[in-house]
């Protein structure tokens, strides 16, 4: 895991890069050069240039002055450090570039033209991003609550810190794509066949971004092997294992009668087992105890002033019947989380395998079957639904829904699988080879 790759500094030579600083100065120079170049070609065309591109300049200036400065990370003392370039965001960008480039190449080969993809992808990407984030925010709404509405909205918009749901992206991207396809009169089924294998390529890079951020992790693992991984302090896994007591040697379940007015970073538990020689055992915690575990802020004085405040290691406190019975500084806690299944790596490998499988199926279909357009797309939908159902059994970050053990993603997978199979049967029956066999059988009878 490497959530923050590097930080673009807040200032250069004492002048901020964002806000009223170097970024705005550079934009002003670019605008003046564009106006000067157009004026030298003909003064009357300057007003046309302003009408065409003026709104872009205004929006860019607004982003530089008001939006981006609010996304800067701060250090332990509260001073802005700059814009953090996250591993998750980098792999998200790689996912977009790889999937779009491959889709454009496949569309050109299919006779549709790469231009269709290049014109469609901004809408598809925007719709997919909004859908993926909206799905995640709805699912984990309590995690985004802040002191003010503005801070809450900024937390919801912090895409580079992870938090996208693939199904939400598929739904949002599909809606946006269908709107563009319908508006331009492009062949939807053929475009779907060209695009679907590329979605798995994007998914492969996206899951590596999840690995960098530490989200979408798997369940506990008993051994250290290639399919398991230990995440460092500050990762979602570490935070979760702190609050479940696993890192201090406890096996616990949520308390039936929760203590009122719990704050974020606190959890009520009933102890089911205590590992001998663990931190919890040393604190005198016993089976049957009802505890409140609370994350404790780390020391600001000992924190690295060049790193974001979010990377400061935290401690843990245990309270029983209103009395503090154990308190551990960050240095006393384990240096890494307990091993969990590396579902991000497993998912990325399965996405790569799915891409190769779809390309092989495509070759076989066109060589032996000559199906109706859209068959490959529907096979891809079925394949993803099956893989997602399997992967959800390995993950523990989504609870069961509707009184079952199935997570919301598994329920959506079941729905997608059913609709895709029914539509696939319909499309296969309409394929030229199937129609010819039906006619031959009718003639023979």
Q: What pLDDT score was predicted for residue 432?
A: 61
**φ, ψ for residue 218, nearest 5 deg:** -95, -175
Of the pLDDT bands very low, low, confident and very high (cuts 50, 70, 90), residue 308 is confident
pLDDT tens, residue by residue, 248-300: 999 998 887 655 566 778 889 999 999 999 999 999 999 999 999 999 888 77
Residue 163 pLDDT > 70, yes or no?
Answer: no
With vertex at residue 360, the alpha carbon angle to CA 346 and CA 118, rounded to the nearest 5 degrees, is 80
* 21 vs 430, residue with greater confidence: 21
Of the pLDDT bands very low, low, confident and very high (cuts 50, 70, 90), residue 377 is very high
d(Cα 177, Cα 115) in Å, to the nearest integer? 14
Give the contacts of 216 (CB within 8 A, at least 6 positions apart): 207, 210, 343, 344, 347, 395, 397
Residue 92 pLDDT > 70, yes or no?
Answer: yes
Among the listed ranges 24-28, 75-79, 409-413, 437-441, which one has the minimum average pLDDT value?
437-441
Mean pLDDT of 44-70: 85
- CATH 2.30.42 in the chain, residue ranges: 233-332
Per CATH, the number for 233-332 is 2.30.42
Residue 368 pLDDT > 60, yes or no?
Answer: yes
Give the contacts of 108 (CB within 8 A, at least 6 positions apart): 114
Contact yes or no for 220/247 (Cβ under 8 A): no
Contact yes or no for 162/88 (Cβ under 8 A): yes
With vertex at residue 417, the alpha carbon angle to CA 387 and CA 221, rounded to the nearest 5 degrees, is 25
């Amino acid at each position: 895991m490497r959530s923050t790759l590097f930080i673009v500094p807040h200032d250069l030579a004492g002048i901020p890069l964002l806000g009223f600083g170097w970024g705005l100065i550079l934009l002003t120079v670019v605008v003046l050069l564009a106006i000067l170049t157009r004026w030298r070609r003909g003064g009357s065309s300057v007003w046309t240039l302003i009408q065409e591109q003026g709104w872009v300049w205004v929006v860019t200036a607004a982003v530089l002055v008001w939006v981006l400065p609010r996304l800067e990370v701060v250090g332990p003392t509260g001073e802005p450090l700059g814009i953090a370039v996250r591993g998750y965001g980098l792999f998200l960008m790689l996912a977009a570039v790889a999937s779009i480039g491959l889709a454009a190449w496949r569309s050109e080969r299919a006779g549709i033209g790469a231009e269709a993809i290049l014109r469609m992808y901004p809408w598809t990407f925007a719709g997919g991003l909004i859908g993926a984030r909206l799905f995640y925010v709805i699912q984990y709404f309590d995690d985004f609550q802040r002191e003010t509405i503005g801070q809450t909205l900024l937390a919801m918009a912090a895409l580079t810190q992870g938090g996208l749901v693939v199904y939400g992206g598929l739904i949002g991207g599909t809606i946006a794509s269908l709107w563009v396809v319908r508006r331009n009169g492009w062949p939807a089924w053929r475009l779907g066949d060209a695009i679907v294998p590329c979605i798995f390529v994007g998914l492969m890079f996206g899951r590596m971004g999840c690995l960098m951020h530490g989200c979408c992790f798997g369940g506990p693992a008993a051994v250290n092997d290639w399919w398991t991984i230990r995440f460092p302090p500050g990762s979602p896994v570490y935070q979760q294992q702190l609050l479940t007591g696993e890192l201090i040697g406890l096996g616990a379940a949520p308390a039936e009668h929760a203590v009122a007015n719990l704050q974020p970073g606190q959890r009520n538990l009933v102890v089911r087992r205590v590992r001998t020689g663990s931190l919890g055992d040393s604190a005198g915690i016993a089976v049957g105890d009802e505890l409140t575990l609370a994350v404790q802020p780390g020391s600001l004085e000992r924190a690295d002033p060049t790193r974001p405040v979010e990377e400061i290691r935290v401690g843990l406190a245990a309270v029983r019947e209103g009395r503090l019975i154990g308190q551990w500084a960050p240095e006393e806690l384990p240096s890494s989380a307990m091993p969990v299944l590396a579902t991000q790596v497993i998912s990325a490998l399965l996405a790569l395998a799915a891409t190769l499988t779809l390309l092989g199926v495509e070759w076989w279909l066109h060589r032996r079957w000559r199906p109706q357009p859209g068959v490959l797309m529907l096979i891809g939908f079925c394949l993803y639904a099956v893989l997602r159902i399997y992967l959800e059994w390995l993950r523990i970050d989504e609870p069961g829904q509707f009184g079952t053990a199935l997570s919301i993603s598994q329920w959506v997978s079941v729905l997608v699988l059913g609709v895709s199979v029914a539509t696939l049967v319909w499309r296969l029956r309409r394929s030229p080879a199937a129609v010819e066999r039906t006619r031959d059988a009718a003639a023979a009878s």
